[in-house]
Structure 1
Amino acid sequence: MEVARPAFRPDASVTREEMEALQRDIAASARFEDDFDFDARRVGRPEGPLVAGVDQAFLDDRAVSVVVVLRGEEVVERAHSVSPLDFPYIPGLLSFREGGPVLDAFEALSTAPDLALFDGSGRIHFRQAGLATHMGVALDLPAVGVAKSLLCGRPVAPTDELAAGERVAVEANGRVDAPDGTVIGHAVQTRQFEASHRINPVYVSPGHRMCAETAADVVLACRGGYKLPEPTRLADAYADEVKRRVDA
């Protein structure tokens, strides 16, 4: 799969100010509204669209980046890359550390997915340009961010007593470069146990060519028996598999 907008490929050699300026350009180029030609109601079904799960594992100064493409429960293709890391982890600039390796993995794909779920944020980001937004715009691919913790923004209601399938909107606040009160994503409860073993929600936000409500719908449609939606859960497992093989 080709990178549609090479100008947005992350460059870890530029200054922080240049990175943040690029993120603002990416957010301005992103479309946080539905813009795709598949039936979102069929996500996760055998006849549904191709859904890519994206994740990474790390080995010394290298990133193992993987993409697992599903149609329903069937794995259609898996691809990976092993790329050098040349940028530290800095909150808000994750895509400049991990984005280049992720694009390397997409370029190894022969399949063109209809949408992608990323282990990271999309619009729930200080400059509305998390990893899912950056990669979605670079690939011009409908994209969703699925984060395990909330980077910024404000849930409109408590999120610690949600039942499986429930969601709570996350609005922009003073830490987000968007009008206060803009819905930038949702806390989504994919699975829940009894009161003594509560599971926290995941934080779902649109990356590109999808609105916040549809992004949450897609993640719920992709849930299985675990907290993570199946595409990113399988990507996580595949990343560990490749890491063990590379490290052997």
Structure 2
Amino acid sequence: MAIRETTEDLYRIQEEIASKAIIKDELNLEELNVITGADQAFFYDSNSKTQSKGEKIISAVVLLEYPSMKFIDHAYSVLPVDFPYIPGLLSFREAPAIINAFHTLKTKPDLLVIDGGGINHPRFAGLATHVGVSLDVATIGVAKSLLCGTGEVPIEEGEVRIITYRDRAVGYYLRSKKDCKPIIIAPGHKVSLETSLKLIKTCILKHKLPEPTRIAHLYANKIKRDLE
């Protein structure tokens, strides 16, 4: 799988995306009714009867009512993987499938919550920021590991600690459940730091992860099992 652009070209694209990201609330929180979660899964399609064999990415999106988290709809996209695994450049590998799946939804959500980073990224352009700017939709990134930045790791359930990078606040650690590692929450586009944290906390029910990405993860893996 070849990369057409140089690494420097891709960095410049990310810097341009970061310059377009809006990290303030452009959501009407009083009218927020629908949230979508997105997660990805990968599989190797060795049984395909077409020429499009090899590694593929599944992007699963689930539409949930807010704040009840009741299921409304789901959709998914399967695309060939045409970009290698390079930390810091994963949005070029994963964003196209998310965008494709998003466009298949009959109802467009007010907010998209993505399994991945937001502005907590070496060039402030993680997956949620990349997708948010590309779609012009509000996004929040929720990750299970820290790509960049520093912050005190919270100990107690419900405890929050800010994450900074290059003297800038870029997200939060949240220990959402006892005896679980903290999750990382960061705005992607059209949402402020504070509102990102507030909204994700309201989406956490019985599990460590917020319902939008948790259910999307389950759906993505179901599709993977069906296709393998």
- TM-score, shorter chain, exceeding 0.5: yes
Give the whole-Å Cα distance in 2 for the aligned partners of 1:199 and 1:38: 29
Q: How many angstroms does 1:12 deviate by?
A: 5.4
Q: Tell me what 2:141 maps to.
A: 145
| Preserved CA contact (<8 Å) 1:38 1:114 | no
Give the whole-Å Cα distance in 1 for the aligned partners of 2:185 and 2:146: 9
* Unaligned segments of structure 2, at least 5 residues: 45-54
Give the whole-Å Cα distance in 1 for the aligned partners of 2:148 and 2:60: 26
Q: Cα RMSD between the aligned structures?
A: 1.5
1:129-144 maps to which residues of 2 (within 5 A)?
A: 129-144=125-140
SS of equivalent residue, structure 1 residue 154: coil
1:51-200 maps to which residues of 2 (within 5 A)?
A: 51-60=35-44, 61-71=55-65, 72-155=68-151, 158-164=152-158, 166-173=159-166, 180=167, 182-192=168-178, 198-200=179-181
For each residue in 1:65-106, what CA deviation from the matched residue of structure 2 results, as whole angstroms up to 9, or x when unmatched?
Answer: 110010022211100011000111111001011111111111
Give the whole-Å Cα distance in 2 for the aligned partners of 1:13 and 1:66: 27
Give the whole-Å Cα distance in 2 for the aligned partners of 1:223 and 1:202: 11
Q: How many angstroms does 1:18 deviate by?
A: 1.2
The share of aligned pairs that are identical, in percent, is 40
Of residues 198, 214, 222, the one that matches 2:195 is 214
Q: Tell me what 2:8 maps to.
A: 17
Instruction: Provide the aligned length of Structure 1 versus Structure 2.
Output: 215
Give the whole-Å Cα distance in 2 for the aligned partners of 1:75 and 1:133: 25
| Preserved CA contact (<8 Å) 1:34 1:210 | yes
Give the whole-Å Cα distance in 2 for the aligned partners of 1:75 and 1:12: 38
SS of equivalent residue, structure 1 residue 62: strand
SS of equivalent residue, structure 1 residue 161: coil
Q: How many angstroms does 1:207 deviate by?
A: 0.1
Of residues 33, 36, 43, the one that matches 1:49 is 33
Give the whole-Å Cα distance in 2 for the aligned partners of 1:218 and 1:184: 16
Give the whole-Å Cα distance in 1 for the aligned partners of 2:72 and 2:7: 38
| Preserved CA contact (<8 Å) 1:160 1:200 | no
In the alignment, residue 57 of structure 1 is paired with which amino acid? A
In the alignment, residue 212 of structure 1 is paired with which amino acid? L
Q: Tell me what 2:52 maps to.
A: none
Give the whole-Å Cα distance in 2 for the aligned partners of 1:204 and 1:131: 13
| Preserved CA contact (<8 Å) 1:117 1:144 | yes
- Return the structure number with greater strand share: 2
Q: TM-score, normalised by structure 2?
A: 0.90
Q: TM-score, normalised by structure 1?
A: 0.83
Q: How many angstroms does 1:13 deviate by?
A: 2.9
Give the whole-Å Cα distance in 2 for the aligned partners of 1:151 and 1:73: 28
